Each structure stands twice: as structure tokens, then as C-alpha cells.
Structure 1
Amino acid sequence: MKLIHSFQTRIAGSLFLLMLVVITLVYLTVKAATEASAVRQSYDQLDTGARVFRQVLDGRCRRLNDAVRVLAADFGFRDAVASGDVPTLRSVLANHGARVGAGDTYLLDMDGRLIASTVAAHSEGERLPGAVGAVNDGSCVLAGTGLPQLRVTVPVRAPLPIAQVVMSFAMDQAMAQEFRSLINLDVVFLGEAALMASTLPDEQGRQLVQELARAPGTGDGWQLTLGGRLYQVKRLTLGTQDHPVYVYLLRALDVALAEFEPLLRQLALIAGGALLAALLGALWLARNLAQPLRQLSVMSWRIGQGDYAVKVEVPRQDEFGRLAQVLEEMRQGIAEREQRLNHNALHDALTGLPNRLLAEERLRVFIATQSQVSLLYLGLDGFQAINESAGVAGGDRILRMVAERAQVLLAGRGCVSRPVGDEFLVQACRMGLEGAVGLAEQLRLSLAEPIEWEGQLFRLSCRIGVVEYPRHGDDPNQLIERARSAMLDAGQLPDRLRVYDEGRDAAQQRRLQLVQDLPLAGERGELMLVFQPKVALQGSGPHQAEVLLRWRHAELGMVSPGEFIPLAERSGSMAGLTRWVIQATIRQLALWQTQGREVKVSLNVSAVDLADTQLPERVMGWLDDAGVSARQLTFEITESAIMADPEAAIALLTRLSILGIRLSVDDYGTGQASLAHLKRLPVDELKIDQSFVKELAPGNDDAVIVRSTIEMGHNLGLEVVAEGVEEARALALLRSWGCDVIQGYYISRPVPAAEFEAWMERQSMPVLEALS
């Protein structure tokens, strides 16, 4: 199959087919021309034969007429005619007819009655048809009762015409053969009753009679198929107009074409030789073209497979040679770039150190050849600030200095690599944990030496994580990741050094499982709402509560909000959790509403939710579907969530407020909101963070902050809520300062909906009396 589709085969085949078409067209053209010429020559030969036939026939008629005139002029013959000596006349007619080769000879009177004859079938006094009036009619051909005849009639004068001498010759087979030998054409004399004399074979002669009887020719020349052979036919009309005689001259077309057979055979031999020569030439040309292409193809394939050592050489001066030269230049360029790319793919462009990929490969070699290898993963502290202070160029200079100092310190005991950014990996061979910890201390001291850049001195500090092979694993990637994990943990330690703790993997696996299962927790029915009651210190009103989310994992049990909420914020699941909480809360409010309970609830909204421009419309849709008033909902927003994008947050909160949803600033005092932003927010309440309320006592700093916050909130027209109330002392102070609403463990812990309903049932007496 490859041979059929090869370039060489296509070139040779195309050239051969082109030559074959040309030679075939030439051969067919010459053959058609020779056939046409043969047909024309055949017709010309028929015309020539017809003229010769007429001339010979006329000559015979003249000779016959002369012979008869000699007889008619003979004195003895005239005397015998005059005397009526019939026996003598018969003898003379027979002798003279035999002498001139006549068939039948008659002597007739002037009325056309027979006097004497050489034909015994005729009797004296019998009238011979056609005898009278045939004299001097210009023709000697007569249609007889059988075959056509040549008949000449001459008067016998003494001196007036006293009789007529008639001699006839039958146009028989002998005459047809004679004419055929003379004009080289088949001759057919057709008489009455389908009698004929013909030079054709008997079968073809009978077919001719049948064809003429079925469709006589309308002209003097046409073509006719007899016995499987094609004949050209020409008809001659003889005799009188009333009694015509037809003579057919035929020439077989294959005979005419046979004359050109030698020429066609020679032409076929020439065509075959030309085709053979064309095939050989096409093969030579195709090979001459395909061989360098094949060489270039093989070399290109090897280059494509990464074999840049092959040298592209085609010793030719034509286009193929120039193409080979271009490919060779391309190979050299690719080889150089490939070498650079390979180096860049495995090395850090800034420091020239191995990157993460090469570090893993070298560690794999170390593990295969060494019994003990330690890894030190080093991360620079505060490098972002240094980079901002020294600039990009200064930061690059400091990183190169770190690489140089680490290499000098290692002094052939391993290798240093730069996996990413401001992190470095040191691989120390034949070194245990004790040696690795000592090396880490040396690295810290070496990096602590100041680095000068443009008049500034920079002293670096670092955190280092340490792992050891085979104690902490045998997979290079796993060892590096564990060393990096230890480095991250070292940032929380005073000495900034941490040896990998195997228990950290379990915590990491737990976090990964929580992140994976959190988006599906609602569908699995693992999420639940709890309600922490809120109490109004001034007057009465609907029951209030804060809605909190809890997660009972199917495998891990209860998961603390402090654990899964940060994971939801980092993994992008927070928006889905907020939507679930809002919908579940609205359904619960609708249920209480059917029970005749009016409850106002508050729930937390994150910074991610404030970026959702469709949140107001969605919430209103859920409220309308459930038949719940928007005034029963309060959205609590932290100061940090508002400050992430103040303008967008204010716009969204304004839309929520217009729809009737109450807004609260949660954890007030711990964030970074300014009074300028606070007065622009369309909020209804401030919620003092529990860190200021838990240890609230007269005269302490928390008391000053809480009291001033309550006064400021009231001055701004806002309701103030204090959370984290756990002692009666805190309750008394808050009530005395005019705080509007409180919540905390002193009132109730967060409880499920059923327990919250029971708590509401117990509130039959005024709240303040119950708390006193």
C-alpha cells in the first residue's frame, strides 16, 4: 500500500499515463484516418470499376455489332435469306455465332417473326419479344426472361431491309468472373425470378438478394453487411428505361482495410516502443526526484523525533540541494533552541539553580544510590516587603545571593534548587535529621549576614522545614511536599524550624475531604439550622433569633463552623452555603407563620455574597414564594466584607434595604470601617462584637468602648445589639447604657428549631423579669 501511494510511484504513473494517453490518441487518430482513407479509396475504386465495366461492356457491344454487320453484309447469307433456304441459314447462323462466341442467333423478318434460329426451342414464324424496335437504340443490354443478355440486332439489306439478324450473349457466371478479374471487384448480375450471376459466395449472394428484396437501395452506392462482412455496394443501371437491368459492384471493406494493416502494425510497434521508453524514462525521472525527497523525509522524521545529531546532506546543486541546506540550517537552529529549552525547562532562569522537576529527578537518583538523604525546604520571611523596598532588580539580586550562599555552605554535600518564588530546596546526601538541623542553623546564620543594595542593607530571616529519607517517605514528590508543609508550619514556631510531623497529613486529608463534601452537604441532608435567641431590653415585640449553620458529616460527625466556614470561603463554596441558609430560613419562617408565630431572624452574609448582583432579586423571589415579609429578615455583614469593595457593597446593600430587608454591621469594632463609610451604609443596627462584651466590667477599657459605641449608634439612628452576654453583670451594664438587644449564653445557647419553639413558649412573662 505504501508503494502505491509513494511519490515515486505517482510521478512514474502520471508520466506513463500521460504518454499512454498521447500515444493512444495518436494511434486512434491514425487508425481513424486510415479507415476513412480506406473507405474513400474503396469508393473511388468502385467508381473506377464502374467506369471500366461500362467501357468494357460498350466495347463488347461494339465488337458484337461489328460481327453481326459482317454477317448481314455477306452476299451468300443475303442470297440465302432472299431464297428462304432455312437449313442453310441455320448452318450459317450457327457457324458465325460460334465464331464470335454468341449464345443465341436469330434471323427474323421485318415484323419480328422467326425465320431461322440456333435455338431449337423456337419455331418458325414465332415472334421474338423485343426484336422489333431494338435497332439503333444505343444499348445492347436487354432484360431477358432469365439472366440479363447482350443482344445486337442488324438489318439484312438487299438493298432494302428484308430481315433482321439478332445475336445475344447471356450475362452469366463466366462473364461475372471475367469482369471480377478485370476490375478486382465482386460483380453481381441480377435477373428475373432472383436469378443471378455472382462472384460472391453462395450464402452472401442469397443474403444480397434478400436484402435487395427487403430494402432496395435508393441510390447508386451504399454499405451492406453480408455474412458478417461489410461491403460497399455500387449499382449500375443498364438496358432501357422501361426494362432496366441492374449490375452490382461490391468491395469488401476489410479487404480495403487489410491494405493498411502493415501500416497499423508498424504504428502499434512504434507506440509500444514509445510506451516502453516512456515508462523507463518516467521511472528514471521519478527515481531521480524521489530519492532526494526520501532522504530529506527520513532526515526530517529523525529531526521530528528529537534526533538533532543527524546532518542533512543531499549532494545536489538543484532545488533539492538548496532545500537540504535550508533543512540543515533549521536543524542546527532547532538543536540550539532545544538545548536552551531543555536547560530552561529544568533550571531557574534567575539563579541558574535546578527547578522543581530537576530537583525531583536528582532526589530520585539520590534515593536510588544513597542510603540516607535529608531535605531542607527554605522559605524567606517578608520577601515581598524587601522586593517592594529594593525593587525588582534588588529582589533578583538578593535571590541570587541566597542561592550562592546556600551553594557555598553545602560545599558538594548535595545540591540546591529553587522550586518557586522565594523558596529554596536543599538536598543533603548521607545526612540524618541531626545533621540537617545543624545545617539549617548554618543556613539561617549565613542568610542573616547583611546584603547591600543601592546603599540599603537587608538582613534575611527564613523558616525551614526538614524531612529525611527513608523515615518520612520514599517518593520524591511526597518528600518535597512534606518538607514544604513543615516549612509552612515552621512560620508559627519561635525558632522558625520544623521537622515534618506525620500527623499533619491526617489533618490535611480531613480538610481535603471537607472541601470535597461541602458542596454536596445540603443535598445529602447533612446541614441544619440552629437558632440563638435574642432579647429586646426595651419594651416587647416579636421573638428574635440569630440563625447559625451546623454540619453533621456522615463520616466525621459534627464539624465546627470555625473549621468549615473558612474552608468554604477559600474553596468557593460560600455562596452556595449562604443560598441554602437563606432558603432554609425562609421555609422555617413560613412554617412558624402558619403556627401563628411572628419571628424575626438575622443571618450572616459574606463578602462573596455581596459580589453577587442578583442576590436581592433571588431573595425576594424566595420570600414571595413562601409568603414571608422581608422585614422578618436581617442580613449581618462584617466590616471586612464591606471594606473589600465599599462602593459595590453599598450599592447592593441599598437595593436590599429598599426591598425591606434589615441590615446589620456584624462584629463592629474589630474591622476597619470608618465613620465616613458607616454613615453612608443603609444599615439598621450595629452589633458589638462579643470580644468587648464577655469580660465587660465597670471602668475597664471594654466598658468604655461598648458604652461609646451604643451612644454613637443611637446618635446615628441605629439599633445596637450586643452579643456574647454570659453574665448578669454584663446584662445590667448594657441595660443601664440603653443597649437595645442582647444575645449570648446567659440567655440561651444556639438550639434547633423545636427547642427554640419551646423557649418561645416559656416566654409568658416579660423578658426582663425572667432575666432578673
Structure 2
Amino acid sequence: MRISFRSRLLLLFISLAGGVLLVTLLAVSVATEKQAQLTVERELQVSERVLAELIRVRGEQLLQAAQVLADDFGFREAVASGDRATQVSAMVNHGDRIGTDLMALYGVDGEVLASTHDLSVSTDVSELRGLRQVDEDLFQLVTVPVRAPDTIAYATLGFRLDDALAQSLQELTNADLSFYDAQHSLIFASSLPAAAQQGLIAAAEQGQLQSWLTAEQMAGHIASLSTVDLLISTSREDVTQPFQVLRTQYLGFGLATLLVALVFAIATARYFNQPLARLTAAAEALRRGNYQIPLDLQRRDEFGQLGETFNTMRDAIAEREQRIVYQLEHDLLTGLPNRTSLQKHLHGLLADRRQGMILVLNIVRFRALNDRLGQRFGDQILCLVANRLRDLYRDQAHVTRLAGDEFVVVAEQSQLSDSQLRERLMALVETPWRVKEATYRLEFRAGTVRFPEFGDDVDVLLRRAQLAAQLAGTNKGLVEDYQQGSDEEYLRRLQILQALPEAISARHLQLHYQPKLDCRSGTVVGVEALIRWHHPQLGIIRPDEFIPLAEQSGDILRVTEWVCEAALDQQQYWLEQGHALQMAINLSALDLQNEALVSHLTQQLHQRRLSPQRLTLEVTESAVMADLEQAQLRLAQLRESGIQIALDDYGTGYASLAQLKYLPVDELKLDQSFIRRLQHEESDRVIVQSTLSLARQLNLKTVAEGVEEEPAWQLLQQMGCDTLQGYYFCRPLAPAKLEQWLQQTAPAFQGKEL
């Protein structure tokens, strides 16, 4: 899921503000909690000190009151005289006056002279002071001596510590006070509620007072006061309430801050997102190919600068795309529309069912002209032709350079008639061509096809127009019209090209063999392997039909490899059957370029234990002249390995006598065009006679092919030819039928008198 920049910016602001708020809140919570704990402890300590001070002050007050009683003259007289009634009366009056709850008078020896409570003194009477448990009550006692002038008695006064006193102390100390005796399960005084007092004494009995305090959300200090314990406690909630309020206030402040941050984030995100959104929309429009709407951000910051840069980029891309589209649809050399533009134009015409004509124009021998005078000259010629075509047809036709020297003119019938198209083509041909200071004559071949009469597919129409142009080249004319069915041969060639690789792999090809006879004795001395192909759908495919196609597609190397292996297998078999026949195999021009040819042939001969001298490779003059230097090198390598070389179809190619002198060949094969009418044409006899004489002088063997009559055999024998082959003796036959011919027919030619 894609998250927008605005959402991410909002998330960033909220995360930062929330993070800061959370960290601060945690810090405040920890600090307030710690401070609350310190405050509780401090309050307990203060309460403890205040309580101690109050008890001390109260003890001093009690001591002063007891001293007043001891200093009273009448009281001393009563003590000294032993007047018990006076003693009691004085003590009661004084106790009522100061509000004491306990009064006692002891003799010097500890004898109880008068007492409101049974103190059960077991120690020195002078030590009766501080907090003392009397019966089930707790008192604060003071004891003073009664002197007259010596100590004659001790007076003890005490205040009871009860809940009312504890409550009054709690109001002063702001802490609850509880005086208790855990051992006897007594609470003497406490400011706690009754339920809390019961929980206190129960927890104290079990020794779990701290746990009880924690459970009751209280904090407390425990002090041991002689025979009793004192618990100073306070409510944690009451102490921490101000801090809770502080945290609540801070949380509210933080939420308000977060809300402000959110509003600020939304405003900031909008501030940044608006130009980005417009930039994104502009980029999307640019991606769709819309270059018309400029981006105007009207800002003076980096976004404004980015918008200006984007506009500059948009203009540059628009210009570059226009240039690319132009280059895509136009030829860079001539400026004419190219194949892409042509197809688009024709598609539109065919879709609208328009009628018109396509003319394909080629420059005759342009490649030779380009090679002879240079590529720059060829480019100048192409530009001149393009400009002339553009001027001739102007807006009435669509002129295109298809490829190389091929131009296409597409004219609608409504704008340019067929006759007008041809008239302007004649004007193109008749006008001389001037390059710099020189004038040249160019020849053209053109083919036309009408649409949609002869097709509604662009490629089909172009192919048919090209076929018509090829027909014009064959007929040496300027222009030819496409005729229905004339592309069947082209389609057959395509089918052959598609079927040939499978035929090689599946070994659907066959070899037939034509015998070669000694011209003098009529003895069969060898055979020539001739390839045959019978296709289930295409029927019999002649070698002169599929071999050129194999050379064009590059499959000829595989064909030759198969032919060599199959022919050598057959030669080995015949040799084992007692037929020592020379095997002749034909090579193409591409075979002579194959660096692996020599090693492959020598390896195949070695595997079958065949002598290289019994293998003859036949090459045509045209194959040799395709690359004379490379052919000489490859033929020399073959001869060095012991293989015989024959120059086939001699007299029809381009080999001169000077080149023949340096070609590494062993025999010449006279073309059958000179042999078939040898007995009728004097010129043929002269050519054959001179060729045979030349071969003898060069120590070359000679083979005459195409012998179809006995008189031709007789003439060739008289002229000194070495070997013959032709239909007069035998047509090319399959291996089994050739073996039958060798046994039944071949003996008839041996020793035949001519």
C-alpha cells in the first residue's frame, strides 16, 4: 500500500509531537511519583517531630502543674502532718483545676499515700514519668518530689491518652496517630476510623503491619514508646492528590499541544503537499504524453524553482519526443517517410477502403555503383532520387524510402490516376542526374499493385509490388504490374525455406548418382552425387530450386555436410561390393568459406578408410569468383590433403585464362550447353576443341557433361576428352537402381566401337 507524502508528513509531525509528549509525560509521572513519595515521607517525619514536640510540651505543662501542687504550702503541711483527708482534698482540687485524669501520692519509701489508680509501682517512685499503661488505659505521667525542706513524698500526675486526644493531635500534625499494644491486642488511642483500627490491631498481631498499610493505600512510621507502640500514618491518596491533579493538568496541556501540533502539521502538509500534488499531476500528464499544460506554482521558494525546472524539462522532452517521433517515421538520410510511416499511412487508407496504387522503385545495379564510386556518392544519389520523387508527386502521393535503394510511392486514385503515376515515373527516368560536375544516367525498375483489389494487408501489398519490380528486372523493362497468382512462386520459396531445416535434420533428402564413363573405353570410372528432395506437400523440389535458398539462409553448410557423409558411406559400400568408383560431390560458394570443410572431409575419409584421391569436389566458376582469394586458399588446402578438384560448368562463368592458371584444380568440366549440339554447331565444336587443348597443355583432366547422343561421344573421343556423362548413358539413379544398371547396362558401353 502506497502512503502519500502528505500522510507521511502528518504522521511524522504527530509522531514527533506524540513522542515528545509521551516522554515528557513519563518523566513528569516518574518525577511526581518520586516527589509524592518524598512528600509522604517528609510529612510523616514532620508529623512525628510535631507529635514529639507536642508530647514534650504537654509533659512540661504537666510537670509545671505537678510542681505547683508540690510547692503548695497547705499540701506540704498536710503531707508532713500525715493529714490524709487534707492531702486528698488538695490533690482533687488541684487535679480538677488542671484537668488531670490520674493523681497519686507516695511516701519516700514508695508507700501509696493516696491514688486515683493502681499504678503497681515496682521501681523507684521518682521514675514514674512518660507514657505508662494503667489498667487498659494509656497515661502520660510526671512525678515531682514534695520537700519540706527535705523530700517527704512524691506526687504523680497523669493525663489519659484517648481517641479524642489522638484526634486533636491528628488535626495538628495532619497525620493519624494510633497508640496500641500488639501483644495484648489493645488500642489505647487512635484517630483512625473504627474499621481501620480493627484492621490495624489484626495486622499488628500477625506482624503484617506494612502489608496492611500498603493495602489500605497508606504510609506510616512505627515508633516504640516503652510499653506501647505508636503508628503515625497518612493516606497516600490525600498526599499525592495534588500531584495527580498536576499530571491531569499536564496531560490536558499535552493533548492540547498535540491538537495544535496536528493542526500545524495539517497546515504544513498542505503547504508542502499542494505543489507536490501539482508536480505529480504534471508528471502524470507528461507520462501520458500531454506536453501542452505548463506548471505554474507561483512560489519563490525551492518549489517554485522546481516548477520552473520541470517546465524546462517538459519543453525539452516534448521537443526530444517530436524529434524521436520524426526520426522514427522518417529516413535520416533523405528526410522521406520510412517504413513505419508507410505502414501507418497504408493502414489508414485500407481501413477507409480507399482505392489507389503502390509503386515500388529500385535503382538498377545500385550496389555496384555504391561499391565503385563510394558510399558518399551513393548517398548523394539516394538524396537526389528522393528529392526528385518529392518534387514529382508533391502532395498527391506519399513517397517513402523503404530500405537501401528501394522507394515506395502510394497514390490514391482520387488524387493521382494510374496513367499520371506512370507519366511522372517516365519523367524521373528520362532526366539525367548531376552529381557535382558530372552527369550520370540511372536505370530504374518498378512494380505496381492496386489496392484493395490485390490485397488488404500492408505486407502482402508491398511483397506483391516487389515481386512485380523483380519481374520488371527480369524482363529488362521499366515497370510491371502485379498479376494475380504471380506470388505463388514466392510463397513456395518461403515454404521451402521453412521446411529445409527439418528435412536436413530428419534426413528426408536423398542422393542419386550419375555414372561417369571413360571416353575411350566406355568403362564406368566414377559417379557424381546429385541431391534430390521429395516433400509430402510440395512434391519434388529440384536442386536448382532449393540450393540457392539454402545458400541464402545459411543451411547450405549442413546440406553439404550431409551430402558428403551420405556419399562417402555409399562409396565405402560399393568399394566393399567390388565397385571402385570415383565419387564426385558439388560444393557451393559458401562451402569454400567454411574453415571446417577440410578437417571435416579428411576426418570422414579417415573414418571410412577411403583414399582422398577417390574423392572429387566440383566447384563452379561463379562460386570460385565470389571470393577468388579465399577460394584459392581453400582449394589448395583440399588438394594438399589429396582430394581431387574439378572446375564445373567451365565456359559459362567469369574465370579468365590467367586466373585458371593459378587455380588449384585437377580437371575441367565442360558445360552441357556446349555439348548438346556439338555435332550441329561449328562454334560449339571450336570452343570444345580449344578447351580440351588448353586442358591438355595445363595437364588437366576433362569431363564432358550433357552427352545425349552417340555422335557427340564420337566427336569428343576424336577431340581427346577424358570422361563423359549424360543421359545417353544413364540418368541419375538411386543407389539400388544404379547397381542394377552397372550389372545389366554398363557392360554394353565397354569397348564399343564408334
TM-score, with normalisation over the residues of structure 1?
A: 0.82
Q: Does 1:522 align with 2:504?
A: yes
Map 1:547-696 onto structure 2 (within 5 A).
547-588=529-570, 601-615=583-597, 633-642=615-624, 644=626, 664-668=646-650, 670-671=652-653, 687-691=669-673, 693-696=675-678
Which residue matches 2:124?
Answer: 132
Q: Does 1:753 align with 2:705?
A: no
Q: C-alpha displacement at 1:490, in angstroms?
A: 0.7
Which one of the candidate residues 421, 444, 451 is aligned to 2:426?
Answer: 444
Q: Aligned AA for 1:59?
A: V
**Structure 1 gap ranges (5+):** 218-222
Which residue matches 1:220?
Answer: none
Which one of the candidate residues 295, 300, 316 is aligned to 1:312?
Answer: 295
Is the alpha carbon distance of 1:725 and 1:135 closer, same or farther for their aligned partners in structure 2, counting shifts above 3 Å?
A: same
Is the alpha carbon distance of 1:72 and 1:452 closer, same or farther for their aligned partners in structure 2, counting shifts above 3 Å?
A: same
Q: Does 1:195 align with 2:182?
A: no
Q: Aligned AA for 1:424?
A: F
The answer on whether the counterparts of 1:405 and 1:447 sit within 8 Å (CA) in structure 2 is no
Question: Partners of 1:624 and 1:203 in 2: how far apart?
Answer: 123
Which one of the candidate residues 437, 442, 453 is aligned to 2:435?
Answer: 453
Question: Partners of 2:402 and 2:71 in 1: how far apart?
Answer: 147
Which one of the candidate residues 395, 399, 402 is aligned to 1:419?
Answer: 402
Which residue matches 2:364?
Answer: 381
Which one of the candidate residues 140, 161, 170 is aligned to 1:150?
Answer: 140
Which residue matches 1:179?
Answer: 169
Which residue matches 2:233?
Answer: 250
Question: Partners of 1:143 and 1:663 in 2: how far apart?
Answer: 147
Q: C-alpha displacement at 1:563, in angstroms?
A: 0.5
Which residue matches 1:465?
Answer: 447
Q: Aligned AA for 1:748?
A: C
Which one of the candidate residues 313, 316, 319 is aligned to 1:330?
Answer: 313
**Structure 1 residues 554-563 or 254-263, which shifts more?**
254-263
Q: Aligned AA for 2:37?
A: V
The answer on whether the counterparts of 1:105 and 1:118 sit within 8 Å (CA) in structure 2 is yes
Aligned to 1:758, the other structure's residue is in SS state helix
Is the alpha carbon distance of 1:651 and 1:65 closer, same or farther for their aligned partners in structure 2, counting shifts above 3 Å?
A: farther
The answer on whether the counterparts of 1:695 and 1:702 sit within 8 Å (CA) in structure 2 is no
The answer on whether the counterparts of 1:537 and 1:768 sit within 8 Å (CA) in structure 2 is no
Which one of the candidate residues 216, 223, 234 is aligned to 1:236?
Answer: 223
Question: Partners of 1:167 and 1:689 in 2: how far apart?
Answer: 165
Question: Partners of 1:481 and 1:693 in 2: how far apart?
Answer: 40
The answer on whether the counterparts of 1:107 and 1:115 sit within 8 Å (CA) in structure 2 is yes
Is the alpha carbon distance of 1:411 and 1:570 closer, same or farther for their aligned partners in structure 2, counting shifts above 3 Å?
A: closer
The answer on whether the counterparts of 1:148 and 1:190 sit within 8 Å (CA) in structure 2 is no
Question: Partners of 2:638 and 2:291 in 1: how far apart?
Answer: 67
Q: C-alpha displacement at 1:20, in angstroms?
A: 2.7
Q: Aligned AA for 1:284?
A: A
- Name the Cα RMSD after superposition: 4.3
**Structure 2 gap ranges (5+):** none
Question: Partners of 1:192 and 1:157 in 2: how far apart?
Answer: 40
**Structure 1 residues 486-495 or 160-169, which shifts more?**
160-169
Question: Partners of 1:209 and 1:680 in 2: how far apart?
Answer: 137
The answer on whether the counterparts of 1:535 and 1:741 sit within 8 Å (CA) in structure 2 is yes
Question: Partners of 2:199 and 2:147 in 1: how far apart?
Answer: 49
Which residue matches 2:48?
Answer: 50
Aligned to 1:473, the other structure's residue is in SS state coil
**Structure 1 residues 625-634 or 753-762, which shifts more?**
625-634
Question: Partners of 2:85 and 2:561 in 1: how far apart?
Answer: 153
Question: Partners of 2:75 and 2:130 in 1: how far apart?
Answer: 23
Map 1:534-549 onto structure 2 (within 5 A).
534-535=516-517, 544-549=526-531
Is the alpha carbon distance of 1:37 and 1:692 closer, same or farther for their aligned partners in structure 2, counting shifts above 3 Å?
A: same
Map 1:693-712 onto structure 2 (within 5 A).
693-696=675-678, 699-712=685-698
Question: Partners of 2:412 and 2:131 in 1: how far apart?
Answer: 135
Q: C-alpha displacement at 1:520, in angstroms?
A: 0.6
Q: Aligned AA for 2:64?
A: D
**Structure 1 residues 59-68 or 592-601, which shifts more?**
592-601
Question: Partners of 2:710 and 2:359 in 1: how far apart?
Answer: 55
Q: Does 1:485 align with 2:467?
A: yes
Q: Aligned AA for 2:52?
A: R
Q: Aligned AA for 2:739?
A: E
Question: Partners of 1:590 and 1:114 in 2: how far apart?
Answer: 159
**Equivalent pairs: percent with the same residue?**
36
Which residue matches 1:12?
Answer: 10
Q: C-alpha displacement at 1:663, in angstroms?
A: 5.1
Q: Aligned AA for 2:508?
A: E
Is the alpha carbon distance of 1:700 and 1:49 closer, same or farther for their aligned partners in structure 2, counting shifts above 3 Å?
A: same
Aligned to 2:9, the other structure's residue is in SS state helix
